[in-house]
Amino acid sequence: MAEIITMPKMSDTMTEGVVAEWLKKVGDPLKTGDGLIAEIETDKATMELDLDERMDLSNFKDCRILYIGLEKGKAVPVDSIIAIIGENGEAYEHLLTGGTPAKADVPATPEAPAAVAETATPAVDTSNIKAEVIGMPKMSDTMMEGTLVTWLKKVGDTIKAGDALLAEVETDKATMEFDLDNFIDVTKYNPCTLLYIGIEEGKTVNVDDVIAVIGEPGADFQALLSGGKTASASATAAPVASETPAPVAKAEETVVVSDADGRVKASPLAKALAKDKGINIAQVKGTGENGRVVKADVDSFVPAVVAPKTEAPAKTAAAKPAFVPVVTGEESYEEFPVNQMRKTIARRLAESKFSAPEFYLTMEINMDKAMAARVSMNEISPVKISFNDMVIKAVAVALTKHPKVNSYWLGDKIRINHHVHIGMAVAVEDGLLVPVIRFANTKSLSQISAEAKDLGGKAKNKQLQPKDWEGNTFTVSNLGMFGIDEFTSIINQPESCILAVGGIKETVGVKNGQFYATNVMKVTLTCDHRTVDGATGAAFLQTFKQLLEDPYKLLV
Of 50, 52, 181, 529, catalytic: 529
533 in active site: yes
Residue 460 contacts residue 426 (beta carbons within 8 Å)? yes
Contacts (Cβ under 8 Å, ≥6 apart) of 542:
363
CA–CA separation, 493 vs 495, rounded Å?
5
Q: Are 69 and 81 in contact (CB under 8 A)?
A: yes
Q: Give CA–CA dist 364/137, Å, rounded.
A: 54
Torsion of CA 379, 384, 385, 388, to 10 degrees: 150
| Predicted local confidence at residue 99, as pLDDT | 54
Q: Which of the residues in the chain have pLDDT under 50?
A: 102-122, 228-261
Q: Are 521 and 367 in contact (CB under 8 A)?
A: yes
Active site residue 185: no
CA distance 255 to 180: 19
Which amino acid is residue 474, in one-letter code?
F
Please report the sign of the dihedral spanned by the C-alpha atoms of residue 44, residue 50, residue 52, residue 56.
positive
Reduce the DSSP state of residue 404 to 3 states and report it. Answer: helix
List, in sequence order, every residue forming a beta bridge with 496; answer none if it has no partner.
Answer: none
Q: Are 298 and 270 in contact (CB under 8 A)?
A: yes
Q: Which pLDDT score is estimated for 319? A: 63
DSSP conformation class of 82: E
CA 215-218-220 angle, to 5 degrees, is 75
d(CA 532, CA 416): 11
How many C-beta atoms lie closer than 10 Å to residue 494's C-beta? 17
* List 12, 208, 299, 533, catalytic entry: 533
**Alpha helix segments (H runs only) across 165-322:** 221-225, 251-255, 268-277, 295-300
Please state, in angstroms and as integers, the Cα–Cα distance from residue 335 to each residue in 75, 137, 174, 332, 370, following that order.
Answer: 17, 21, 24, 10, 45
Task: List, for residues 317-328, the tens digit of each pLDDT value.
Answer: 556 667 777 777
Q: Three-class SS of residue 138?
A: coil
Which 3 state secondary structure label does DSSP give 266? strand
Residue 233, pLDDT score: 31
Give start and end residues of each alpha helix (H) in 8-167.
93-97, 111-119
CA distance from start to end of the chain: 62
CA distance 177 to 166: 8
Rounded CA separation 528/509 (Å): 33
Question: In this structure, are residues 344 and 527 in contact, taking their beta carbons and an 8 Å threshold?
Answer: no
